[in-house]
A = this chain, B = another copy of it.
Amino acid sequence: MLATVIHAPRDIRVETVPDPVLSTGGDAIVKVVASCVCGSDLWPYRGVTPTAEPHRIGHEFIGVVEAIGEDVTAIAVGDFVIAPFYVCDNTCVNCRNGVSTSCLNGGWWGSDDRVGSFADGGQGERVRVPLADGTLVVVPGPVRDDEVPGLLTLADVMGTGHHAAVSAGVSTGDSVAVVGDGAVGLCAIIAAKRLGATTIIAMSRHPERQALARRFGATHVVAERGDEGVARVQELTGGIGADRVLECVGTKESMDQAIRSARPGGMVGYVGVPNGGPELPVRPLFNRNVGVNGGVAPVRGYIEELLPDVRSGAIEPGLVFDLELPLADAAAAYAAMDERRATKVLLRP
């Protein structure tokens, strides 16, 4: 079968690799219907994180179950399933506590899966899914083709934006500022509106993304950054800053923007992967009682909650995909996202 392999910075190849096989009784084989490229895939692509040796890449996919191991009970061959961007058993204490990204038996696509096998990446024709009962969520059929983009966002970006909002404690009537206008930031706007925020400030400088932010529920757009950005957020929030700020980038600059945009007693929910940093400046947090909460988003636990709203069209996270390419063109997909010609690229095998 074909799958995407990263060899080195800016060297993404679609290669023929062995077909996956069931290797434990808990495995499933999923035939991929759609996968996509994540902003965090750009870190190794750009060489910000090293690629020691060629490895499979990609961690967001949806598809149809082709085979299951003898211990699998919750899914069946033929089921349409969503895979979160990681593997989890959904039964351990951390999963029960809502932190399935810290599953005691889980792992990550494209790395060792703890049974000694090299786990598949998500950008391929098929994926072997360990701990299939815990990892996969069934979408009751039939699934229309136009539902594919929306369902695919539940593998990562919609759940991650939701996690930012949940971590920040967004609730009815809140003012919320969102730092970052990538796919996650845009989904965080959806999440903030869905949880009842009434003032939603999108911090964005890109006209197309500003327009999508407004469609998703942003009541205001702030293009300024730094001191001016903070001042604009304060103007829109009675002079004090936003009740909740959703940090969806992961750089030092974006985190500083988020912390300074929160009101005294406010909370920053952050989901941007902090690549190599930043450290959080504790004194400004302490003096103003601004909290910081979040992390790698346990999206597995959010899929059931968000799925009905995606299927009904109440929320439209699938609109974050602004380019669709065949899997064979994965290298072009990475380049388009790297060069910001696309917000998020959907790949079809």
Contacts and interface: CB of A to CB of B under 8 A. Distances in A.
Contact of A282 (B99, B239, B263, B277): B277
A108 to B, nearest CB: 12
Interface in A81-112: 93-94, 97-99, 101-102
A240 to B, nearest CB: 6
B286 A102 contact: no
Interface residues of A, number: 39
Contact of A293 (B97, B101, B267, B295): B267
A291 B226 CA distance: 24
Contact of A264 (B94, B238, B285, B292): B94
Contacts of A255: 282
A240 B94 contact: yes
Nearest to A102: B264
Contacts of A285: 280, 292, 295
A334 interface: no
Contacts of A267: 293
Interface in A224-254: 238-240
B274 A167 contact: no
A238 B298 CA distance: 21
A26 interface: no
In terms of DSSP, what is the predominant structure of the interface of chain A? mixed
Interface string A277-292: 1111111011111111
Quickly give the copy total for this chain. Answer: 2
A102, A167, A278: which has the most chain B beta carbons within 10 Å? Answer: A102
A60 B125 CA distance: 68
A180 interface: no
A342 interface: no
A328 interface: no
A273 interface: yes
Nearest to A97: B265
Contacts of A45: none
16 contacts: A94-B240, A99-B289, A101-B264, A167-B289, A265-B298, A267-B293, A270-B286, A277-B282, A277-B283, A279-B280, A285-B292, A286-B294, A287-B295, A289-B294, A291-B292, A292-B293
